[in-house]
Amino acid sequence: MSAATESPADAPTADWVDPAVMMRDPYGTYARLRELGPVVWVPVMGRYLVTSFEGCRDVEADQEIYSASVTGGSATLARALGGRPMLRKDDPEHAVERQAVNPTMRPKNVRQTWAPVFERNARKYLEVLRDVGPDEADLNRDYAAPLASQNLVDLLGLRGTSVADMQRWSHAFIAGTGNLHDDEDIWRRCDVAREEVDALLEELVPYYRQHPDGSMTSAFVNSGLPHEAVAANVKLTISGGMNEPQHMVTAIVWALSRHQDQRERVLADPALWPTVFDEAVRWVSPIGMYPRETTRATVLAGTQLPEGAPIGVVVAAANRDPQAFPRPDAFDIARPKQPHLGFGSGVHLCAGHWAARISIGEIAVPLAYQGFPGLRADPRREEQWDGWVFRGLTSLPVTWGPA
Ligand code: HEM
């Protein structure tokens, strides 16, 4: 928590925030909120939004005051999944579940066990893209979406699951997590997805007890966690491990299409791919906001907060905070290396960040440029962005060959 030296102020109110505008493009709203202060009460969302880099980092540094175990209308993730996964627990309970998969997700293991699988999948879907051809290809539909889905089926070890089922489950859980207005249809789709995943786990749990392997589900099953915790965390990973890598494939190609000079630099020096990946996660963070709740009255970035205050940690805004990043709105792979918050921070730092870095930043995107010289956004057809809590390109028409 930031210790206030002056008497803390009440949070300013932003009654002009329009979620529909934010769905189209949230960055103008983030800039206006930041001008009001690092912590702002937003009535239409019923929560305090934290938009400064320091404020978001302070929240993540103190889980005793800023709990991930949110309640009330913020508890949609637990409802969608039918149980509380590690992401909605604080330590020490959280740590027990997180430790179950940490060894599987270490970079050495991801490179040894999973990189060959990620590469095989990437090559398969690059052929799909090639078959669609440079006049009709959509990088999201034909490559990023099926690839991210197949990678997650494999990494989770959900044997026999189709790309389409994984996509349907993941989208249902994500929609449930965002279902702040209790749309019945969304809950119904969540119920179906939950029942199907639970039925699959009835088969997979005994299987992995007998045949442990390097998958995440095997790690959860053989860690001694109770069945409810295994099921909740497999479903958490289904909801969190597909869309974001998918969105980073398209975001990077979109960014490089608009910055020819940087595109040429990385194509001439492939050692720059990891830098390109991290700068893109900062610039267009696929997870924009996640919730926390105060366990007692406190002061955050000079702002008074009551006990039980619902908080939105807006990491997408923090990643464009001019106090933290010079020229924050510029995509710039030459900027000095410094940490961003795109994967969160603190104890809930994304468990899959190495899997994402390697599968997308080191494999999926470089292979696409290798296989399709001249790959770029197709100026003849329009791309589409959507969302702010989860944000990405829902369509990115691409072409290749000589310009
Ligand atoms: C570019 C891709 C990704 C981004 C930007 C991303 C972002 C994040 C963020 C911001 C959090 C923290 C949320 C919070 O504290 O409420 C998180 C947590 C998590 N992510 Fe990711 N993620 C990505 C890919 C993945 C992948 C590929 C997987 C798994 C295969 C994954 C699994 C998880 C899990 C299990 C957690 C919960 C960690 C915990 O509670 O300790 N993520 N992710």
> What is the structure's pLDDT at 109?
97
Q: Whose CA is nearest to atom 34 of ligand 1?
A: 351
In a domain, 357, yes or no: yes
What is the atom index within ligand 1 of the atom nearest the CA of 98?
Answer: 41
Q: What is the tens place of the pLDDT at every residue in 116-147?
A: 999 999 999 999 999 999 999 999 999 999 99
378 CA to middle of ligand 1, Å? 31
In a domain, 110, yes or no: yes
What is the atom index within ligand 1 of the atom nearest the CA of 85?
Answer: 40
Which CATH number does the domain housing residue 343 bear? 1.10.630.10
Q: What is the domain range of residue 392? A: 9-399
Surface-to-core class of residue 55, CB atoms within 10 Å of its CB (0-12 exposed, 13-18 middle, 19+ buried):
buried
What is the atom index within ligand 1 of the atom nearest the CA of 236?
Answer: 35
> How many distinct structural domains can be found in the chain?
1
State the Cα–Cα distance between residues 92 and 73, nearest whole angstrom: 24
> What is the structure's pLDDT at 89?
95
> What is the structure's pLDDT at 7?
62
Task: Name 176's Cβ contacts closer than 8 Å, sequence gap at least 6.
Answer: 76, 77, 79, 80, 81, 186, 187, 189, 190
Q: Spell out which residues line ligand 1, taking CB within 6 angstroms.
A: 86-87, 98, 152, 155, 236-237, 240-241, 244-245, 248, 281, 286-287, 290, 342-344, 348, 350-352, 355-356
What residue type is assigned to position 314 of the chain? Answer: V
Q: Which residues of the chain, if any, have pLDDT below 50?
A: 1-5
Which of 69, 283, 350 for mutating ligand 1's site (highest number of atoms within 8 Å of CB)? Answer: 350
> What is the structure's pLDDT at 5?
44
In a domain, 168, yes or no: yes
In a domain, 1, yes or no: no
In a domain, 42, yes or no: yes
In a domain, 284, yes or no: yes
37 to 27, 56, 303, 328: CA distances (angstroms): 15, 13, 9, 17
In a domain, 3, yes or no: no
In a domain, 4, yes or no: no
Q: What is the tens place of the pLDDT at every residue in 221-260?
A: 999 999 999 999 999 999 999 999 999 999 999 999 999 9
